[in-house]
Structure 1
């Protein structure tokens, strides 16, 4: 029976008839629709109301008879059918479709209906029509064009020739069909044609126009331009024929010949000039270049043929090259493009200019022709002028002399930058000021008079040189040497001033020094005299005259032996002669017989003689004898003292040691004397004082370190003194050492106890503060990462295994963390399970992230603790110096904040500090504080989300969900406060409260509504490990009266597999009590269905992300259907979460999923709203007005 479709359905079918591209359908034996493909079914809805006749009404009237007849015959014979027909669209237009069908039979061979498709083939029909029109237009064009058009087969024989063949060549097209096309081509041109075809076959390139000669009916050859295209198989590249277009080019060739002759005349002209003419082909290769190029490049023109301009080793200017490249790329003319290079014969630099015009033939670009000019001379002259101007400007601007220009009143018009360096004034600030403003007040009259003289008639053309004092901006005085001249023509004063301050000050200082030296020579206690190369006395102080018993004034200018008879026979005179000849200073001690005294003489060579200082040392020699006696007694004391003794010279080499030092160091005296102090000392804070002029001379009680001969170090208490000469340099060094090694060891032990963690040996909070501060001070511009590391769930390990195994685990963790770090980095333990790392990060955050990943990876491996494998992870917070803080206190605080973010982010990860974390940390602290009182203040509520049977769409239960209504902050998301509760150990108490509330409220609902319900309550991993869990569940059931079978406990995959054996034992106990058990959020953890077989669970809850996932090549339905089937095979019910759309509901229903929950049914709601929701569902259909 034909279907009587409702108006809405008719409208939908009308839309499908107008727009659907593909319909896949299935009917029963009576023509009723059983199936439509998904895109069509989504639009139609309930397809069971559709009959085959509903579609036939849209067939174009002209095609309806044939289609009806073919369908009737096919249904009668149960045969397959295929036919094309038109659909009449709603706007009156039509479109073509292809209908196909095949009979379907059941297992007993009975006819069950038809399967088929309807495809839109309008585009194919339109393409065929366009092709037919194109072929007609092509033939019309070929028949009427003046060009010769022909087509040949694979053997080169004509299969089509246009009528223009007869008009141009006199050949009858009908008579030459089947003959060879090459038979009428000039024999010399045949290879060119074959080469062109072969090129196309090999490369697949487009055809090119070639010039060939074609014979006419009289045997005469005509020039034609031929474009011959090979028709090749796209895969094998085998030629199956050709299509050719030929054009008469006789006139074109005559025109080209005229152009060639004209260009030849032009070439001859260029050969006679210094310019040159050039031609290039389409590939920018030179095809002609005149002789003029030889003068520029030094290369013969014929050597350049075939080369590109880029091969000429020339360079374009920065502005020239883009213009040239743009013109060449667009085949446009270019003018006066300048380039430069080096002449290959002369080696001289040249500059040239080129201009060019593009050449086209038959509309195709053939290349360029143009001229070039040698512009080296004009460029050279221009550059010289430019350089000269730049040099003059640079001379002024960069001169160290002040160069200025002033008007007739002395106002400065121009001044260079040197005024800034010499006087401290900015040049701009000087302009407009009077020159006298900068002069020393005492020099103003003199300079003014000089300027007046220059401006007078007598001073015309004169240059005045003078020196004057100028006032610096800082108040100092500068001496300047000036040259000034007046230009009467321009009415300006030119002036150049050079700073001679240092020279004048040096001259003044030299005179002062000379005066000072003479004064000093007269006042010193030593006698001094000087002799020239002829032994004449050139200077003598009064001390010398008194010592020698002579008159000073009469002695100067006399030969020395004339003034002091017998001196040449004295031993000291031989030393004078030695220095006079060798020019090497000498210090000697000799007996001066005339005065019966010992003298020390210091003889120094001078440019024209010698200078001699000497003084009486008779008393000193007597004192030295006394000292030698004293030193002998001192030596005896040193040998007997128990303190180690050292004597060294000014260069820190051992001169003497006593037996106590040998006993202390293990060295023999002979092994140390002559060696440097570095042989013994590894650390001495006073060692640098030896090389420091006028440095410290005495040290008491300083600590030093020496190395024993056997290699170990000893700590000593060091007291010493340095004897310095008059020049302040050390002459000798004496020291006594006392062994304090045992005392230092005790101090080191005390320091270690104060700065290190006794359990792990790592630095403690005191030492990490010191070392981090040292790192920050030493590297103020380097990135440094501070990492707070907190072990995840260490408290649980400590509680379950005991404190001793926990301590062992902490030591192993410390060892692994240290193994990941470099020696320059620091690992410390703050206490408990908290560690800190401070590390240099050359690449900033990327280096810090690499270190954090390395630390996490090191902790991922199992730990062996008392024969058991223990797995542990860590949460790491990172703050970076200096972007997150410039003080260690702020870096510690921000790293701690980031660590808490890592913990709330799922643990076993690291997080960098972000600015917003500070606010988050404050909020977290506030929430943590409020959470501790939330239970007693009744701030928690239990909301419920209904669970629906997907077959009956009736509510069968609900999931209990905890909500927190904070009195100041409002509703707090569970994702924000649950991790805090878990981390701070409050989750068990809160979980017990939720369990009791859910049981009590569910039983009350069942009592009021008179219907069976179940409630599911979530359990965390913390609760699963709680020994009181089973007892609290039984207490909640007992107090509420709720049947155990009405309570469902939900556990995540992660919680179950954390400790499999423990989980199995707890779940079996709960199962034996009659409870229902479910696995929550399946698809987000790391287990599988086969793994879950170990647990006594009843229900599998599919996570929303699993329901909505997509995998390449596999639909969501296939995923879910397979999972549901396997779960049912394991006797598990399946509950889908996150059902939000009817499509997902249909998909899950088709996949045989048992129950579901989601926003499509209801959002989580408080108890009162849930009761109202269930009461509305209980109202019978007749009472609610339903039909």
Structure 2
């Protein structure tokens, strides 16, 4: 090495430093060797180009270019390796002269001679900047991908070739309630709704077979709590590049539950819009794809002179006065091209004897899922307008009359927007006289909030260079003379020859009010104008959010009217509506502006209000509201008294969500109603317990028939004179496996309230007829079975058919069936009851009035209804003391017996439990008796054994 540089001048220190600087900036691979004293004795060819001699290269100077943050680590690593005579490898950064950085990889290896003596180090320094940047980029890419995946609100999943989850993003916790590890290894079909699984399979198969691009499908996924959530899922099939075999799938699922709800709400609002059109003077219509009417509003009835339904199924050309009329032909062309149309006019052929009428129609095509389904639009009866136009064609001098009699504003402006003329309708609409408007500019009348927009439209339309312009159906608001505002729809035309703008304006105030009304309907009860359930839910959520966690800071009150049904039944539904409106006014008048009172429906109201002092504040408000019902309501000129029951729940004591608060207040309200009269109650936890117990019994009762837990027992009816069994009463019993024998007084009212009594009563009737038929055949005795009918059954329109079917299927003669009804059921709707009893009586069976004497109009019912038997309630039977003392009970019972016999009715005494009562009945001339004194109610098998026994011996035994 030394011979290479002989004869050359030794470089200066500055020259060596500059060469080393260039080396640090430029070298890509440096290969070096140093002796045992650290002096460089060998460099690679690329490095030698920078120095005259290898010893000009100095590691001490080289380290001066190493980044200060990396230098300590480099020094420590090299020093430790030299001390141990070990190899080393280290990465570090070099700072270039321009301040940029380059990454170097340094490697060093200890050298030894043949005798094993240490003789220095050899190594390399390699530029690895590109590799390092690529590695950093890859790390950032992986980090970004994981960041997106882990924090995405959408659920991202990967699946193996058989569909099992191999990756699930954290969004599954929020969307489905599952932790990631709970889904790994499971198959998606475990949580996909069974009805949606075929669509997922079809999508995967389509991509496999045809290479189709992924399509988004909507499906339902089951959450961990069992509820389903709607998602929009895009699935991509992953295939092996070499074999084209499917290696798995990747799916992205987005929660669209809110979107689905919005679609439903949109459909509901559209339906409300349809109903609103019935309030307009124009007629709404729809046609199918062939132009046949499918919907025609009732507004058309006055035009037709007959029901609007006459047009259903017909086309416009079928009813047209002249099929070649230009307006009708324009309609047919638009229909064929599926284009919207407006203001097309044609004549309609009227019913026989009526005058023709003319329509102006506007419509647009309807599409569903991209398919044309028909047209919808509005029709306006323009018969009168058409006749005027026909007259104008013949008599030009009637032009003024047309303008003067128009219902719309008709006026003219000059080039500066000043009124030149205005018709009476314009004066009526604005409230000004013609002299107060003519000469003034239209700018003075426009509502301030609409002025800038109106001026911009006016300038764009009428102030172009050529002065031409037209305006159609431009809407804005004007101030009237009285200070009010009116909504106008403007149409205008610039006539250059006359330098005049002809203008018409239609008063659309009512239409705008109707549109506002439509928006109001979404959150307002139409009868009382109080907020409805939707507004109540929104307001309560907002109040809960404001209340935070302050104890008892918010109250929810459920208010239900007492005796409202009596007003409805006695005075009619219109009177009931008036009453509800007055109640709403009183409630609103006695609450603060920030308090909300809403109507849920029927006679139920809800009040939500903040309560600074908890129970005390809520009690004061409840008392104040109840006090309003002390004063009568005036309905149809008559004073009406109603009461109210209020249930109160406090946030957060009685619930932290609106649903729980509503449920708690509702439970408290029912407790208040049980007290009778104006009262309120706060919610207590035991109310939920009672509600759950009732719900448990209701659920068990619904399954009682199919589980064969219900039984029909029979109690004999004896002829008082002969003590012979002449019949029996069928009595329902319930034997529950956990609840035991449930008393009829508990489950019969529940069955009546829930509507289950209809199914259960039909089953009892069938069982009683079947058993009676068997006993009549086996014993040869004409035993009559008595079956009770509930009030709900009596008002069942299919009752007569069900009785006829039970008799036919059992073979029991109709004269051996007796149906019992209470006075209360007859009193609910006497007219319906009278018709139903007449049809039942026509079958040949007997009718009995049960619990006679407990009603309020018993005697009138005995004359009105075709009754055969009167069952004397046990309350009219004397006790032992009363028999001994000859109390007034005896006299009353004898009077009832005498009355019944006078009306040719048989009398059956119920609840006979003692010999003394039986003797009294026998002496009084009672016809039949039943009760524990003779026999308790028995199941069918035991009752049949009783019948087969000696009734005469049993009677003798009782009398002995």
TM range (shorter): 0.3 to 0.5
The structure whose Rg is larger is 1
TM-score scaled by length of structure 2: 0.39
TM-score scaled by length of structure 1: 0.32
